[in-house]
Structure 1
Amino acid sequence: MCDQYVRDNEVPVVHSGTDAFMMIYDDMCEPQDQSVSYPSRNTVVKNSLTAELAIYKEHVELYEQRAKFELTKREQNINEQLRIVISDHNFKEETLKKDLHSIKLQLASTIKHNKSIVEEVSLLKKDFKQKENKYLADFLNIKTLKEKVEDKLIKQDQSLQMIHMLCKPRPNSNELKRVAIGYKNPLCLTCAKQA
């Protein structure tokens, strides 16, 4: 088939520029009935072009199949990566939910503990204030008892006049009975002065 095409398309070799010009001119002046005059040549060209077209169609189909295969392979890789990312995301989300739940429980426990501590502190403050008041009252009672005991100890085995001189002046005494500044005038001394 190729040999026939070469024989049908044999062109004389051009040796000079005028020969080439003449050839082109002759081709232009010839009638356009080449298709009629060369039916076998057109058939050969048509067949060769049809064969080339079929080859190109096969190449296109193969290329499309390869592209589809590569695309499906890429899609599979992308789907696999997406599945991995989604499963990782879901795992992290579940982990974060569990952590959040445990933190909420810890927070509730801490708040409850803090409330109990605040209540305990307020009770302790109240108890401390009551005990402080009680101890202050006890201290004042003990102080007055101490003064009474000291007075009794000092007054023991002393004369009455000496006892009045050693004792501290009492604030509940009458101002009219005062003889000197800061000292009380005991009733027994006033009685002794009068006698």
Structure 2
Amino acid sequence: MTASGSSRSPTSPVQVFLLVLSVAGVATSWVFFVGEWPSAASLMLNFVLLVMIITANLIRGRQREEHERLARRSFLSFPAKVVRLHREEPLATYLVNRKVGSLRPVGGRLYLTTHRVLFLPHREERVLAAKEWSALGGDVVGARVVDRDGFDLLGKRERLSIAVRGESADEVFAVTEPHTVVEDVQRWRLSFVD
């Protein structure tokens, strides 16, 4: 249920093919300009360059995977100043814009935790007096995807709507993949049903 991106292999078959093709291109251009096939030394040099390029891609791919792993881990931890409930842990997080009035989108993160759904505005938004919002898991009635309603600044995309028991209006969030987030919220909500 974590919101994480997929990483592709650093040495895909397409990359290997392109590297071999580039070596063949160097050899062919040598024949075209010099008029004879390259010597064993120049073929060996091309081979060494090919190995260096593949090694660099492998290292870069491992570094990218490590950065993604660290990013996922850091996103699935609360900021230091958040008041936690007893034994509360984050389960998933999403970058969202929360609809506050018709003309005020507030950027931040939406967390699904072991106890509640929690919206934390970005630091810049808190400076502008944006408040955090939360609802206990047992109070969340449902989640659905809603279309854009009238004029507002959340953009033209579909939104996530979370219905909470006791609140007159749903909380609306603009999120990148609202259908996926709705499925995550619905699965998360089942853990609070008796």
Give the greater-gyration-radius structure (CA): 1
Q: Same fold (TM over 0.5)?
A: no
The structure where strand makes up a greater share of residues is 2
TM-score (normalizing by structure 2): 0.24
Would you tell me which structure has more helix in proportion to its own residues? 1
Question: TM-score normalised to the size of structure 1?
Answer: 0.24
